[in-house]
Each structure stands twice: as C-alpha cells, then as structure tokens.
Amino acid sequence: MATETVSTGFSPAEADLSPASDQTTLKRNMQVIYLLLVSVFVVMLNETIMSVAIPPIMNSLSVTAAEAQWLTTAFLLTMAVVIPVTGFLLQRINTRPVFMLAMGLFCAGTFFAIFAPNLWFLVAARVVQASGTAVMMPLLMTTVMTLVPPDQRGRMMGNISIVMSVAPAVGPLLSGLILSVLDWRWLFILVLPISIGAAWLGWKKISNVSEPRYAPLDILSVILSAVAFGGIVYGISNIGAPVAEGGIPAWAPLVVGAVTMVIFIWRQIALQKTNSPLLDLRTLQSKNFTISLTMMVICMAALFGSIILLPLYMQNVLGMDTWQIGLLLMPGALLMGLLGPQVGKLYDRVGPRPLIIPGMITVSVVLWGMTLLGTGTWFGYILAGHLVMSVGFAFLFGPLFTASLSSIQPKFYSHGSAILGSIQQVAGAAGVALFIALMTATAASLTAEGMVPVEALAAGIRTGFLCGAILSLFAIIASFFVQRPPTQPGFGH
C-alpha cells in the first residue's frame, strides 16, 4: 500500500474551474463557496456568543454554575459526536440538501432557545444548534477542496481563516454589549433573523456542486464514534473540576472513550476493505496530512488554552472589566482575519513551509513570554503579545488546512474534513482542560503554602502558559517536515 495518497488530477467538479471553463460555472462555484462562508460565520459566532452569558442565565433560571456549564459542555459533546458522521453525509447527499439540513437545525435550535422555560430545555436547544453547526465547517472545507484548483486553494483558505478568527473573537464582545442592556434571550432573538436570512439565501442561490455516491452507513461505527469522541471530550472537559458526592470522576468517561476509540479505529480499518468506513483512516497514510494534523492539534490546544487563560488573568489578576477584555483581545483576532487572504496568496506562491515555520516560532516565543506574567504586568504587554501571537496563528491555520487536505485523494476530502473537525474539538477541549487544571492545581498548592491568592493565581496562569510553550517546541520540530503537496504546481508555474 502506498505511503503517500495524493490527488493526481482534478475531479469533474474541479475541472469546472480550469482555464477553459465558462464564466457561468465559475460564478456559480464562487457563489456557493461565499454563501457557505457567510453561513459558517453565523454559526461560529453563535459558538462563542454564550461565553459571557452564563452568569445572567444562572440568575434568570436559578441554576448553579455546574449546571449552567452544560450549555457549553453539551454543545462541545454534540459537535464531537456529529462531526465524524459528516464524512458519510457529504458523500451521500448533495450540497444544497446538506446545507439546508444544517441551517434548518441551527435555526430550529435558535428559535427554541428563545422560549426556553428552564435550563434543560435550553441545553436541548443548544444541542440542536450544535448538530447544524457540526455539519457546516466540513461542508465548506469539502466544497472548497472539490471546486478550487490546487494553485488557488491557499487564497481561498485565507478567506476561510477570516471567518475562523473573527467570528469567535466578535462573539464574546457582541454578547457583552447586548447583555449590558438586554436580557440573555436577545442573544438568540438577534441571531435568529440572521441565520434565517443565511438559510433563505442558500435555498435560493446554492447549487448542487458535489457528486453524491452510494456510501453504506455502519450503525455500529456511529455508536462507537459517539461514545469514543463524546467520552473523550466530556472527560477532558471535566479534568480538574470538583467531583460531586456520588458523581462520576473525569477519568471514567476518558477511559471509556479511549477504549471505545481503539475499537472504533479497529472497526474502520476492517470496513476499509469494503470501502464502507464511517471515517476512512486511509487519509492518515499521507505523511503530509498526518504531520499537519499533529501540528493542528498542538496549535488548537495552545489557542483555546490561551483564549481561556488570558481573560481569566486580566479579570481576576489585573481586575479588568469584561468589556475591556473584549476590546483588548479583538485587535488580535481582527488582525488574524485581515492577514488570512494575504497569507493565502503567499501559500499559493511559496507553499506551506516558509509560512508555518516562522509562524510556529512566533507563537512559541509569545507563549514563553506569557510565562512572565505577574500581578503588575502592564496591559500594553498583553495587547502586544496577543497581536504578535495572532500574526503567528494567521501564518499557521490556513496553510495547515490547505497542506493537509491537498495531500489526500479527492475521494477522501469529506473524510479528511471530518477528521480535522473532530480533532479540533478534542484538541480544543484538551487545551482548555490542561491549562485550567495546571492553573488550578498550582494556585491551590501555593495558596495552601500561604501565598497571597492573587499571586498564587498569577503563578498558576504562568504554569498553564509554560505547558503551552513546551508543547509549541514539538510543533516547531514538526513544521520542518510539512511539505508542499504534490498536487501543488511548482514555483513559477
């Protein structure tokens, strides 16, 4: 069996964008991609808009913090469970029906959330929202890989990176502004017409650009996938959290998830012989895909860990207000988005390695710098560090997405997108859990020794960033092994 699975030519859909294609086809393909981008922006905005809404919801629905956290945990769990199934959906169903299914679920969940009479109804509405959200990103990535020729993918992935960086950054700030004057239900009231508008535009304008084929659905694989990914994400998300009397310790779902994951992988390898796996792991035969995926894991863990630690540091150590934190972190996210298309153009010219090596080194330097944070650190230092780190991430995510998916055969695009999406969820949850667990354990130990609580918390946060900094060194090493995918034309072509 070959050690490197690569595309050797355009699929029929890719041929539509060859120089000989007519302008009507080109316009149709670009219209589909940009409509998907708009819709992904809406659903990703919703993913982070709840981050500062937990306290108002706790007061409104009279629930504890542990109960309210299910609004986030249930969303993450649903994403982790649904994303692996998208590989099957994107093979069996055409572009337009999959889009309408995803946006229909998202709109329905948003509508029901507005009228939620209690927490668990609201959690159920978030689960429905997450079911739609989980489909959108793999749909976008698979569509781009199918429609866009290799020498133009970097530029398109740059546009996608705008959505990936700006939407999550705008969410908390927008949420804070809304909650300063309106009830938490307005978070959903304001998102609903936007999501309905995106769904209506898609229904009117999106064409079927994929080529569905028969793909059997292995029900046992679906069940194993749900238990494996769900158990791992749930277990990781609860690491370091206090266990209630009679409650389940975090290691239990982790062990169940890990064991089930081994069975799931064995099942997929067996089903590959008949070309009927839920997730086709032959994508991992591509060394370039696997190395890029490994780097993505480290980057997502560092990004999400930083996203959770920096606000905690600024609020609980520096004493800043939530709106001040949002304003301070937004320039970095906007800069990351603005750089995305430019990095994409550079990728098309020079390939991944000249971009991701300096990008990863930049992120690592900032993470090491964050290990120096103290109780009297000037906020300008935080702003500068976040801006520089955002530049580093801008040079990483788009090129890594493009290099990884461009290194596998077109028939595996849907599986590759699903694997990337699943790994992102697990890595993000792991980054948050790891950084928080280290912060909490260090702060508790130092407080018990008599250190001032604020000083102890600052030391705990430094420990979290130290972990990220150490992990980043492994990513730097991996960055030297990422290659220009063979499907990419050479320099000057």
> Tell me, what CATH number does 213's domain have?
1.20.1250.20
Domain count, the chain: 1
Say what the pLDDT of residue 140 is: 83
Residue 493 forms part of a structural domain: no
127/105 Cα distance (integer angstroms): 10
The Cα–Cα gap between 337 and 324 comes to 21
Residue 490 pLDDT exceeds 50: no
- What would the mean pLDDT of 72-100 be, rounded to a whole number? 80
Instruction: Round to whole Å and give the CA distance between 462 and 204.
Output: 51
Query: What's the pLDDT at 234?
Result: 78
DSSP 8-state secondary structure symbol assigned to residue 182: S
Q: How confident is the model at residue 4 (pLDDT cuts 50, 70, 90)?
A: very low
Q: What is the mean pLDDT of the chain?
A: 81
- CB-based contact 439:241 (threshold 8 Å): no
The first and second tokens of residue 92, run together, are: 């069996």
Region of poorest pLDDT, from 151-165, 230-244, 296-310: 230-244
Rounded to whole angstroms, how far apart are CA atoms 342 and 340? 6
Predicted confidence at residue 6, as pLDDT, reads 35
Q: CA–CA separation, 96 vs 112, rounded Å?
A: 24
Got the DSSP string for 327-391? HHHHHHHHHHHHHHHHHHHHHHHH-SHHHHHHHHHHHHHHHHHHTT--TT--HHHHHHHHHHHHH
**d(C-alpha 430, C-alpha 283), whole Å:** 23
What percent of the chain clears pLDDT 70, i.e. is strictly above it? 88
Cα separation, 430 vs 254, whole angstroms:
11
8-state DSSP, 285 = G
| 232 domain residue, yes or no | no
Instruction: From 44, 148, 137, select the one nearest 84 (Cα to Cα).
Output: 137
On whether residue 346 sits in a domain, the answer given is yes
Q: Assess if residue 269 is contained within a domain.
A: no
Reported as type and span, the H/E element at residue 436 is helix 413-448
Give residue 202's pLDDT: 84
The pLDDT of residue 66 is 64
Contact 448/325 with Cβ under 8 angstroms? no
Residue 122 lies in a domain: yes
Q: How confident is the model at residue 154 (pLDDT cuts 50, 70, 90)?
A: confident
Where in the sequence is the domain holding 169, given as residue range(s)? 12-217+278-479
pLDDT at 17: 42
Greater pLDDT, 492 or 427:
427
Q: Read off the pLDDT of each residue in 356-380 and give the average, rounded to a whole number.
A: 91
2 in a structural domain: no
| Residue 230 domain-assigned (yes or no) | no
Q: Does residue 484 lie within any of the structural domains?
A: no
DSSP 277: -
Residue 357 has pLDDT above 90, yes or no: yes
pLDDT tens per residue, range 294-318: 888 888 888 777 777 887 788 788 8
Residue 118 CB coordination number (10 Å): 10
Distance CA 206, CA 35 (A): 7
